[in-house]
Structure 1
Amino acid sequence: MQSYRSIPIEECKDPLVGIPAEPFAFTRPHPYVLLGAPYGDASPWMLRRRVLAALLQAADALHARRPGWRLKLFDAYRPLPVQAFMVWREFGLQAERAGRSLAPCRNPAELEVREPELHAALAATVFEFWGIPSDDPRTPPPHSTGAAVDLTLQDAAGHEVDMGCPIDETTERAYPDHYAGATTPELHGFHERRTLLHDVMTSAGFNRHANEWWHFSLGDQMWAWARGERAAIFGRAR
């Protein structure tokens, strides 16, 4: 998945804009703000202007297929310090599951120096899902471009629908087609709803992350790489 970082960026200067309350639903309180992620004066509820326009198109497409349903946003713009915070948190979660401690390390770079084998083992899982928090302007994490959004579906009764695993789960259940071969109605329903989300988002020009049913982007390096574009149009937003 990280090969997308080799795609060149031809920044189009489209500004970050706030995401309006309508017609979307939002995960509140914002999950990363609740964890103490360092947003500073930035808001997670921002996207590049043309990405927001496409997201509004996707919301219309969903309404046409499921009247009363909404796109429920989980996360959008992520400043680089937030990406680094969340990635290190995921390193910690993966270490706990393996019965290991990351102390006294404070970030992946320190861990790589002190315990390279542990770093490599954890990174193999973490970076299958999370973007590398690079401060190199040539390789920004997708969410730091303002061109990526994590989202799910909310039904007409206002309930978040079950997609088979929660957003940010780092297991095979996160793979978009994990339930494609399911034979029970419940499990097949997960695949149908993931397919619905995919269909309405791609109809508006978005591309889905290969390993995450919830992550979609438009105009960043991952999008350009997946679509065979020569260059991305969005680099790091700030």
Structure 2
Amino acid sequence: MREGFVFVDELVPGIRWDSKYATWDNFTGKPVDGYLVNRIVGTRELCAALAQARDKAAALGFGILLWDGYRPQRAVDAFLRWAEEPLDAQDEERKRIHYPAITRQEMFEKGYVATRSGHSRGSTVDLTLFSLATRALLDMGGGHDLMDEVSHHSAAGVSEAAARNRAHLCSVMESCGFSRYDNEWWHYSLVEEPYPDTYFDFPVG
């Protein structure tokens, strides 16, 4: 592990995680280069802010589930290579779930996947809320990495419950020093990130 980075669960107890890119359950359909274990890595500053967010969410009856944190540059490069590959029969289901109305190339053009990701600086997270009472994920009007306009913060057509849950997440995160990404309700970056100009490439593991 690079100095200044840690496994988030070691500094933020009580937080849940499911590192999607370390699994087969992501838009590429396979584990992504650089993700060696199903854990979330981030800077110490990120963890301090997430601990505050955990406590604020808990006061509302919610917990936090992380899907991604630090992302090696080699993973971003793997996304670029994947986007040039021909679709196979198994891709149709992943396309339906993750990018139903756009092509792979349009993921980059429309800002859903970046060639230089803020995740690679170590202080950006993909996350959602769950109910502390039931452990069920809150309805957000669409899942993680649904690359579609319905995932935008300003999207029309989501239910009142989903809009309210997105607002809860946004309120918690922004009150703890994060800024939202307008195209993805799950994506937040630490405003005062410690490495704003550095894109790291050490593996998660």
Of the three residues 213, 218, 229, the one matched with 2:185 is 213
Partner of 2:120: 144
- The reply to whether residue 126 of structure 1 matches residue 89 of structure 2 is no
Taking the TM superposition and a 5 Å limit, the aligned residue runs for 1:1-238 are: 15-20=4-9, 22-27=13-18, 30-34=19-23, 35-39=30-34, 45-64=40-59, 66-67=60-61, 69-89=62-82, 123-127=105-109, 128-132=111-115, 140-156=116-132, 157-179=134-156, 187-219=159-191, 233=196, 235-238=198-201
Decide which structure has greater helix share: 1
The CA deviation string for residues 36-66 of structure 1, in whole angstroms up to 9 with x for no partner, is 21126677511111111011111111112x2
Residues 169, 80 of structure 1: alpha-carbon distance in 2 compared, 3 angstrom cutoff? same
Instruction: Give structure 2 stretches of 5+ with no counterpart.
Output: 24-29, 93-102
1:137 maps to none
In the superposition, relative to structure 1, how do residues 171 and 20 fare at CA in structure 2: closer, same or farther (>3 Å)? same
Higher strand share: 2
Aligned pair in 2 of structure 1 residues 44, 198: CA closer, same or farther (>3 Å)? same
Give TM-score scaled by structure 1 length. 0.65
% identical equivalent positions: 24
Aligned length: 178
Contact 1:14 1:50 in 2 (8 A): no
Select the structure of larger CA radius of gyration: 1
Q: Is the 8 A contact 1:149 1:217 kept in 2?
A: yes
> Which residue is equivalent to 1:110?
none
Native 8 Å contact 2:180 2:188 kept in 1 = yes
Unpaired runs of 5+ in structure 1? 1-12, 98-120, 133-139, 224-230
